[in-house]
Amino acid sequence: MNFLVEGFFQAFRLLVSGNSETYAAIAVTLKVSGYSIGCSLLIGIPFGFCLGYFDFSGKKTIRMLVDTLMALPTVFIGLLVYAFLTHRGPLGNFGLLFTLPGIAIGQTILALPIVVALSATAVENMDPKLRCAIMSMGASRRQLFLSSLWECRHGILAGALAAYGRVMTEVGISMMVGGNIKWHTRTITTAIALETNKGKFGMGVALGLVLMIIALGVNVSVSFFRRRN
């Protein structure tokens, strides 16, 4: 039990003293989760919006598939991505294994189903009367499309936050594809796994708290952003 208390104080010591290993892990975590959440939003929002907005045959099947993909285990994604990125794999020539973009590819696969599913749900749950109201004001198809997107921004934002939480806290992909290389691909979560393996539980707790502080920061800034709108 002692290590919990010890870890609590150590977390602040690490942050205040500017511990370079901790800040390197924080930088790697923010960078790689930024890449992956960026890519998954860029691909996922339009896809999810169309999935919720339009009616077409096979829609239910795609929804079910996307919902199932939300349950992809991270180590399995790590293994799949490794199989493609290894130097003897189909994408081996790009040299992406043990790099941040490599991890980002895996994390994008992790986040994409969440973004798509929650965006689609947000659009589906939009008040149907709103659509009529917008149309009755003489909006063009394009305007209707854009204002619908605008109206479900909160649902999409919630999806983005959920996806970001998943990406920032995963350890399987970062470990498999990134290799937990110090100064380069060591994220906060792989550092926690390593310190725990080394029996340094206090350090593991401290890093976990650091991650929570970052998550808190992200959520506070998002809610500030939301209130301003």
Please give the residue ranges that form the binding site for other proteins (CB under 8 A).
34-35, 38-39, 41-42, 86-89, 92, 94-101, 104, 146, 150, 153, 179-182, 184, 194, 196-200, 225, 229
Asked if 180 contacts 190 with a C-beta cutoff of 8 angstroms, the reply is: yes
Residue 158 CB neighbours (<10 A): 16
Q: What is the number of residues in the chain?
A: 229
How far apart (Å, rounded) are the C-alpha atoms in residues 13 and 108?
33
What's the min distance (Å) between Cβ of 135 and other proteins? Answer: 19
Give the nearer residue to other proteins in terms of CB position, either 63 or 196: 196
Asked if 138 contacts 185 with a C-beta cutoff of 8 angstroms, the reply is: no
Give the nearer residue to other proteins in terms of CB position, either 89 or 165: 89
Asked if 155 contacts 114 with a C-beta cutoff of 8 angstroms, the reply is: no
Give the nearer residue to other proteins in terms of CB position, either 35 or 53: 35
What's the min distance (Å) between Cβ of 123 and other proteins? Answer: 15
Helices (H) and strands (E) in the chain, counts: 11, 0
What's the min distance (Å) between Cβ of 60 and other proteins? Answer: 29
Give the nearer residue to other proteins in terms of CB position, either 57 or 140: 140
